[in-house]
Structure 1
Amino acid sequence: MSMMGEFKTFAMRGNVVDLAVGVIIGGAFGRIVDSLVKDVIMPPIGMLFGGLDFANYYLPLNGQGTNLPLAEAQKAGAVLAYGNFLTILLNFILLAFVIFQMVRIVNRLRGPAPAPEPAKPSTPEDIVLLREIRDSLKK
């Protein structure tokens, strides 16, 4: 089989196609959650911390003042952008929570997991030995 044939067989397997669809949908869903955090959740939280854009909170590491917007402060020198980090952290926590809820719903829709079949009890050695003796005597 040629390499292209092998690749076609590999690419058309169900799990590879499912993975590709999952990655595409996950990327789009990540953008939705990112917008939810940035545009809906963080503005009220920013209002609690002084009415500023929370993503613009930073500590300058080069000794300059904190009155510049984050983009300009980064051009001026090194900054510790903790507000942006907290925004991304909250984004991740919300995304993980939503995915957890989706998995719970899917598992609930699937129903309970099938019970494993009980293992057949093994025959004790002395019974097996007695059967072999019986079969030998019959011959």
Structure 2
Amino acid sequence: MSHELWIHKFAEGEPVAPDMDVIRAVLQPHSVSSRPPIVRDDGSMAIWIRADDGGDAELIASDSGILVDRPAGGQILGIIAELVTQLGAVIIDPRDGMFICRDEERAHLPAEFQQDAVVIEMTGPAVQDATTGPGRH
């Protein structure tokens, strides 16, 4: 993959800040030791993660959501799927604004996005299929 993904959490149609403690707990075991997490003055956090298969991604988390920059396919998407599940969040593919989520989170999306959301089992392979499958860029 050579694009970015966004992770956002919604409650009753409104965006809410993701839980930074959950983000740390899920991502810390995958943090690249040569580039430890950076916590900025504004409370945002940048962390570079790597999966066992060598895939990596940089994530920037803030109160408004999480940017996943250039996520590799494979196991890295399993880590992203776990993060999304633990946060109760959704993935947004900014190339076309597609919302990718579990059924539990679809009900919390703004009403105008609920019908067109792509509902998947939140696993690495399912995220890979939703973001790079047939008809995708």
Do they fold alike, i.e. is TM over 0.5?
no
Relative contact order, CA 8 A, sep 6+: which one is greater?
2
| TM-score normalised by structure 2 residue count | 0.25
- TM-score, normalised relative to structure 1: 0.25
The structure with the largest helix share of the pair is 1
